[in-house]
Amino acid sequence: MARRKKGNPVHGWLILDKPSGISSAQAVSAVRRVFAAQKAGHSGTLDPLATGILPIALGEATKTVPYVMDTDKAYDFVVRWGESRTTDDKEGDVLATSDVRPDVADIEAALEAFVGDIQQTPPQYSAIKLAGERAYDIARSGEEVALQPRVVTIHQFELVEMIDRDHARFHVESGKGAYMRALARDLALAVGSVGHIADLRRLRVGPFTEDDAISLDSLTALVDNPAAFEHLRPVETALDDIPALALMGPEASTLRNGQGVPVFRAADRSRFGDLREGDTVYATEAGVPVAIARIEEGLIRPVRVLNL
């Protein structure tokens, strides 16, 4: 007999405004407790220092996490000039200092090189795995972490304000996988100084913004209160950029059973005519998501079945 899962079958997205001082994993645990949910996960780690948008998936929404992680993100952060740190933020130990303080002209001239597809070496204290071990665990043990540079996309990188001689605020719009700590570190080097992030806030993850978010304090005040469920967004919210495909009953059952549904028959062209080989869709029945699917060899084939 299969072991019964602890908790309730709760499905949907909770958009948390994560406070500073807790990890993303701790935030997920707190949200899971509020809903007494069987299953939960997040789409994109926020460092303990950071605040802002942390989308948390409950139940079947966890199957849509990759589609949120692949989306663009927006951040505001403050760079502290003159000190590099082990973690590339204010939580680490000081590695080096500099008396150089850039002015507006220096910064704006340097920013041009950080927009577009750029090479970026992730921070040593990151969640990237090396031989099965997290980079931050290796770094904490005192070993050197040899991370390779990789291409990330920065859509926008703007100086918002010069707060004082030692601090400047920036706004960034980026693609997936870009580290703001690395961006701050490398910008400081480009202006002839050193630096680290003193404050970081994530403003947007794909379709999820601050307008959608609830604070952890407000949410935990709703434990055992049905009002908490009013803050859950539907599973399919994460699939806004993927075409929806309405199926009829027998087709939906076929897909749920892991089998493919023909898509290019003459009788189907009026419904499926715009689909092409390799397209990803999410299939629905009577408005309820059935599966994330892909068009392969003339069939709609399920990639992830959604049991809703």
Instruction: Report the CATH superfamily, name and number, of domain 73-202.
Output: Pseudouridine synthase (3.30.2350.10)
| Sign for the pseudo-dihedral over CA of 69, 72, 73, 79 | positive
Cβ atoms 223, 73 nearer than 8 A: no
Instruction: Report the CATH superfamily, name and number, of domain 12-70+207-238.
Output: Pseudouridine synthase (3.30.2350.10)
Higher pLDDT, 264 or 12: 12
Instruction: Report the CATH superfamily, name and number, of domain 242-305.
Output: PUA domain (2.30.130.10)
Whether the model pTM is above 0.95? no
| Per-residue pLDDT at 248 | 80
- Determine the average pLDDT of the residues in 287-297: 88
Which residues have C-beta within 8 Å of that of residue 35, sequence separation ≥ 6? 8, 10, 14, 58, 228, 229, 232
DSSP 226: G
Please identify every residue annotated as catalytic.
Answer: 47
Q: State the span(s) of the chain assigned CATH 3.30.2350.10.
A: 12-70+207-238, 73-202
Helix (H, G, I), strand (E, B) or coil at 227: helix
Q: State the span(s) of the chain assigned CATH 2.30.130.10.
A: 242-305
Cβ atoms 246, 61 nearer than 8 A: no
pLDDT tens digits, 204-262: 999 899 999 999 999 999 998 999 999 999 999 988 888 888 888 788 888 898 888 87
Q: How far apart are CA 35 and CA 30, in angstroms?
A: 9
Higher pLDDT, 80 or 86: 80
